[in-house]
């Protein structure tokens, strides 16, 4: 297996402002590193057989870390030279 750095840029809609620090902490606990120069962007290093699987694993970990917060999430995920993935998820309270 190879190691891939996966970039996740996210946009949160209807997320309670009071929960942002808690959300960021949960993402850090899930091994995501906040990119300080870009608002709501994180990077994670993952072991995977290929770039596509690395992106899928990153999406799964990201969603699992924030799924308890009611909001709409729009995300762009990139690893290496493969196609950029775009996802939209809505989490209900």
Q: Write the pLDDT tens digit of every residue in 12-47.
A: 999 888 889 999 999 999 999 999 999 899 999 999
Question: Is pLDDT above 80 for 89?
Answer: yes
Cβ–Cβ < 8 Å for 16, 75? no
> In CATH, what class is 2-91?
alpha beta
Q: Which tokens in the block code for residue 1?
A: 């297996």
What local confidence, expressed as pLDDT, does residue 80 receive? 87
Would you call 67 helix, strand, or coil by DSSP? coil
Instruction: Give, in degrees to the nearest 5, the angle at Cα 62 between 60 and 68.
Output: 100
pTM of the model as a whole:
0.92
Question: Whole-angstrom Cα distance, residue 32 to residue 44?
Answer: 5
């Amino acid at each position: 297996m190879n190691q891939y750095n996966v970039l996740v840029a996210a946009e949160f809609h209807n997320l309670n402002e009071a929960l942002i620090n808690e959300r960021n902490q949960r993402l850090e606990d899930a091994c995501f590193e906040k990119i300080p120069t870009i608002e709501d962007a994180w990077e994670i290093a993952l072991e995977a057989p290929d770039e596509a699987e690395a992106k899928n694993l990153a999406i799964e970990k990201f969603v699992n870390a924030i799924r308890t917060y009611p909001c709409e999430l729009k995300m762009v995920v990139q690893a290496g030279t493969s196609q950029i993935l775009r996802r939209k998820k809505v989490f209900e309270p």
